[in-house]
Chains A and B, each alone.
Chain A
Amino acid sequence: MQQVLMALVPGTLAMTWFFGWGVLVNVLLGVLFAVAFEAAMVAARKRPVMATLADNSAIVTGWLFALAIPPLAPFWVTLIGIAFAIIVAKHLYGGLGYNPFNPAMVGYVVVLVSFPREMALWPAPSTLPESPLTLLQTLQTVLTGSLPGAQAWDAVTRATPLDAMREGLVSGRTVGEITASPLFGSFTETGWEWVGNFFLLGGLYLLFRRIIHWHIPVAVILGVAIPAGFFWLLDPDSFASPAFHVFSGAVIIGAFFIATDPVSASTTPLGRILYGAGIGVLIFVIRTWGGYPDAVAFAVLLMNMVAPTLDHLTRPRIFGRTRGGPPPGDDRA
């Protein structure tokens, strides 16, 4: 888990660079709340507290949750989301290793469904001319839920690229017109693609250190890119390009850090590929025809439900036996 935390650092720093201090404040709050709830729940279940906290899984959950929510979201959003993630999604199911769903994503979906207004407070990337909030102003915003001074939310926040694309397409404009706006860089909005690149860096580090296997990230990205490419080739005016889909929103961080959660993901090689591809296709489908602009959390949770079945159906052949042969210990073969 320490390696995962290290791998999250470059992407988090990139997000802080583009979206302001709120990212760091949220990560700090998220980790703090997650460790506190974890300790409380472990103590309530009469397990050794320090030994359990030492696995650092609560820190990863809190950190991933904090990266998923908007940097200017008020603190109680983090509190409620983390409470759900740690108490309901993790410990009511038996704690680390027993949770069928990814805790960070359960927490995120709970706040996403419950607080649509607060979950839309994405600040403009700092490459834009508006003056970004200072550290103190950010703290004040996160703790009180209102902006300092006479600033208006509309001046500070703006639609994410996925929001912009969705709104644009709904109001009848073509993809070309939407991406012609100066906010868009080569693939997607300028800030977002760099954040994606830095998470990619952390993900490659995890691959290199063999913390995660290549199956899930590759399958997720191809699962998004292939259907996106197919529809883009059919009608490039009403479907965004595969590069836009891969580098927008949470696909990169989802592919490398969220979908690869060893507890809730599939564990056989073929199962991992199917699991990742399912997440990728669901992301594309929900983004394109669903009710929410981004869909990584929904896709991960839906595939979490399927993971045990995938594991069951894709059990590899036992060495030295034929597929469907007698189980080990049976010497009739």
Chain B
Amino acid sequence: MNPTLTDIIRDGLWNNNPGLVQLLGLCPLLAISGTMVNAIGLGIATTLTLLLSNVLVSLIRRHARPEIRIPVYVLIIASIVTAIELAMNAWFHGLFLILGIFIPLIVTNCAIIGRAEAFASRNSVPRAALDGLMMGLGFTGVLIALGALREVLGQGTLMDNAHLLFGEWGHAMTIQIYPSEHGFLLALLPPGAFMAMGLLIAAKNWIDQHTATEPEPAADESRAEASETT
């Protein structure tokens, strides 16, 4: 019931990764991972939302009545996302235009309400904050891996449009790996996102199988709870 801090970190980044294991929030994950910069942008926004919502939910966990806790969580998440959306519109306007509807849609990302319900509502504030951060980083990691894979295959570049995220010097970060007219178009299209996601999950399972030495932490409760809230 009371996971250690290492468990929280390992769960978020690997064992119970929201993208690869819980398969939550697949809609933005698949739709936005066309390039690495988009992936990083959405990843940061999602991580921030997870962190703040976990902290706030953990703070009110003794005051919110159980009958209305879900609407309360949704209200909290929606306010946070609105704030992040306005901030991105102000400071990363180019990226904001590309990410478009997927920023407001973070509200409906099951990974966030899942963590609020499964973890933050029954743990102390620092632990909830750590869990939110680690889950967010895990999600961002999958987004970036998927984005890099699809960008390299699809248009032969890495970090294209980086200036949208890092300012003018970001232009220098774009790496052209091969001429873009031979791009593997399928990787940029929706079926390519699904295939690449499947390959990433397969790779994770393969690594797990080949490194399985220590037994799994007994009765992985947060995983069972998370799947209930999807």
Contact = CB atoms under 8 A, between A and B. Distances in A.
Interface of A: 80, 88, 110, 113-117
Interface stretch (B31-39, B109-117, B184-192): B184-192
Most chain A CB within 10 A, of B186, B187, B189, B195, is at B186
Nearest to A88: B195
B191 to A, nearest CB: 8
B184 A80 contact: yes
Interface residues of B, number: 9
A116 B184 contact: no
15 contacts: A80-B184, A88-B195, A110-B186, A113-B186, A113-B189, A114-B183, A114-B184, A114-B185, A114-B186, A114-B187, A115-B182, A115-B184, A115-B185, A116-B185, A117-B181
Most chain B CB within 10 A, of A114, A115, A116, A117, is at A114
Interface string B162-202: 00000000000000000001111111010000010000000
Nearest to A92: B202
A110 B185 CA distance: 9
Nearest to A77: B182
Q: Chain A binding site: helix, strand, loop or mixed by DSSP?
A: helix
Contacts of A80: 184
A58 to B, nearest CB: 22
Nearest to A76: B182
Contacts of A113: 185-186, 189
A116 B184 CA distance: 10
A116 B183 CA distance: 11
Q: Chain B binding site: helix, strand, loop or mixed by DSSP?
A: helix
Contacts of B187: 114
Nearest to A145: B182
Contacts of B186: 110, 113-114
A325 B186 CA distance: 49
B197 to A, nearest CB: 14
Interface string B101-136: 000000000000000000000000000000000000
Most chain A CB within 10 A, of B181, B184, B187, is at B184
A113 B195 CA distance: 15
Nearest to B153: A114
Given A80-B184, A114-B184, A117-B181, 4 more contacts: A88-B195, A110-B186, A113-B185, A114-B185
B67 to A, nearest CB: 44
Contacts of A116: 185
B187 to A, nearest CB: 8
Most chain A CB within 10 A, of B181, B185, B187, is at B185
A114 B184 CA distance: 5
Contacts of B181: 117
A114 B186 CA distance: 5
Contacts of B183: 114
Nearest to A110: B186
A88 B184 CA distance: 16
B124 to A, nearest CB: 45
List the 3 closest pairs (A to B, CB-CB), nearest first. A114-B185, A114-B186, A114-B184
A80 B185 CA distance: 12
Contacts of B189: 113
A323 B181 CA distance: 58
Contacts of A110: 186
B112 to A, nearest CB: 32
Contacts of A117: 181
Contacts of A88: 195
A333 to B, nearest CB: 46
A115 B185 CA distance: 7
B74 to A, nearest CB: 37
Contacts of B184: 80, 114-115
A45 B183 CA distance: 30
Contacts of B185: 113-116
A105 to B, nearest CB: 15
A299 B189 CA distance: 20
Interface string B60-96: 0000000000000000000000000000000000000
Nearest to A84: B186
A263 B147 CA distance: 35
Most chain A CB within 10 A, of B181, B182, B187, is at B182
A80 B183 CA distance: 12
B185 to A, nearest CB: 4
A83 to B, nearest CB: 11
A202 B187 CA distance: 37
Contacts of A114: 183-187
B16 to A, nearest CB: 26
A88 B181 CA distance: 24
